[in-house]
Amino acid sequence: MPTFECMSGQSENHVRLFEYGSVKAVVHPEMEPALKILADAAKKQGFEVKVVSCFRSFDQQLAIWNAKACGKRPVLDILERPIRKGTLHGWSLVEAILRWSALPGTSRHHWGSDLDIVDGAALAGGYKVQLTQQETAPDGVFGAFHQWLTPWLVQNPEVGFTRPYSHESSAALHPSRYGVAPEPWHLSYRPVAEACEKAYSTGDLAALIASSRIELKSDILAHLDEIIERFVKVPT
């Protein structure tokens, strides 16, 4: 069973560096065969699977969170437009940050099972990856890659990859439970992720948040159950 230290990104004992062709990523070893299959299948179509985000530690996620809470990094609305600094406070600001960034300790990227991927072959000319829905739209820079990837994931379920933040899973939520924005670039390796979902402890999370140097701590702790319901659990 995965430990809470691993699931919350406080430990790196469950991940290691994996390199294969265009893929270079810190992941859970159990995912490596699936990643090879995905990379090979993409290569046959002229794409290069490039992992832009894989394992992320609690401290890395905390740095992202605090930068957004302090206005040092932009907080985006659902349409990916920056929200003007100083217009949101307290719980409203927490909710806005959560739409695009996980609460430290709850990111699926802590698990080593989840990846953000792009088509490395489309990066010629020094294009800077932003991970926006625009990039994955049919006319976007990674449009062709996603038009291949979407049916491939459906046709090859045995490989084990799912999209936990798809348009479909977000639309399936009741508006009042609406959580994370769709992230078609985010893949999850189901066998490892499911074990983490089952073993996750919210009591341990509350203690971790309470003892960390996180911005907006009191607003987070006051709404922790709601955060887990709306932003951490994903509909399957």
Q: Which is nearer to Zn ion, 58 or 219 (CB)?
A: 58
Q: Which is nearer to Zn ion, 110 or 186 (CB)?
A: 186
Q: Which is nearer to Zn ion, 114 or 219 (CB)?
A: 114
Site string (64-103) toward Zn ion, x via CB under 5 A:
----------------------------------------
Instruction: Give min distance, CB of 203 to Zn ion, in A.
Output: 25
Site string (149-188) toward Zn ion, x via CB under 5 A:
-------------------------------------x--
Instruction: Give min distance, CB of 211 to Zn ion, in A.
Output: 26
Report the chain's terminal Cα–Cα distance, integer Å: 21
Among 9, 39, 116, 209, binds Zn ion (CB under 5 A): 116
Residue type, 23: V
Answer yes or no whether residue 219 interacts with Zn ion by CB under 5 A.
no
Q: Which is nearer to Zn ion, 102 or 220 (CB)?
A: 102
Residues that bind Zn ion (CB under 5 A): 116, 186
